[in-house]
Amino acid sequence: MRIKCYKKITGNIECITGLHIGGSADQIDIGGVDLPIIKHPITAEPYIPGSSLKGRMRSQLEKRLGKVDREPCGCGKTDCLVCKVFGAHMNTRHELGGTRLIVRDAHLSEETRSQYSKIVNEKGVSYLDKKVENIIDRKTGTAKHPRSQERVPSGAKFDLELVLQIYYDVDEENELVAFVKTGLKEVENTYLGGYGSRGCGQVKFNDLKLDGIAITL
């Protein structure tokens, strides 16, 4: 199998509501929040790991295709777009070739970064949103175990870049591009990151381009 070309999708991811993508539990958080978000180890800026976006696209597409199981699809069949595009889960014997889709980590856009550095420099405060999540005791109606949750505030933008590897003979270029676009649309229709059913993680993909040419989802 030989690679024919790369198709690149670029654009930005805009947070319509606060976004929470959890950081590791051993991350020491100076702000003292219970549920910190993932941040770059050096710059301490929030980012969206490629694996988070890819995972959400995959799981929503699997639901669309009725491939709902405990585990992601690992059938490895040549006609399974999920396995071809996202990789055959835990299957080392398939003959699909390499996972076609590469999702880069999405970092803050230059526009958002300069907005935020102004806030930090002029006001000396964090631009991150802290939301307190309560668990309501249904018998007494009182809140218990309040936990502070860190979020990227709505309005933040991250740079998006996806790369699709197209192979000779076995790949239908338009079909793979359309599948990836559907995956992005599914994320817009649902959410990204944690607490999606409780209002977090609504995102919109803007200024999308395929190899530099404007596209819509």
User: Which residues bind to Zn ion, rule: CB under 5 A?
Assistant: 73, 75, 80, 82-83
User: Closest CB to Zn ion among 98 and 199?
Assistant: 98
| No. of helices (H) and no. of strands (E), the chain | 4, 9
| Residue that has been written with the tokens 């993932």 in this structure | 38
User: Closest CB to Zn ion among 89 and 131?
Assistant: 89
User: Closest CB to Zn ion among 54 and 151?
Assistant: 54
Least separation in angstroms between CB 76 and Zn ion:
6
Contact 161, 8 (CB under 8 A): yes
Name 80's Cβ contacts closer than 8 Å, sequence gap at least 6: 73, 88
Least separation in angstroms between CB 90 and Zn ion:
11
- What's the CA gap between 217 and 212, in Å, rounded? 15
User: Closest CB to Zn ion among 19 and 82?
Assistant: 82
User: Closest CB to Zn ion among 10 and 182?
Assistant: 182
Least separation in angstroms between CB 42 and Zn ion:
38
Helix/strand/coil for 72: coil
Burial of 70 (0-12, 13-18, 19+ CB in 10 A): exposed
Least separation in angstroms between CB 166 and Zn ion:
19
Least separation in angstroms between CB 55 and Zn ion:
15
Q: What's the angle, vertex CA 105, arms to CA 59 and CA 89, rounded to 5? A: 35
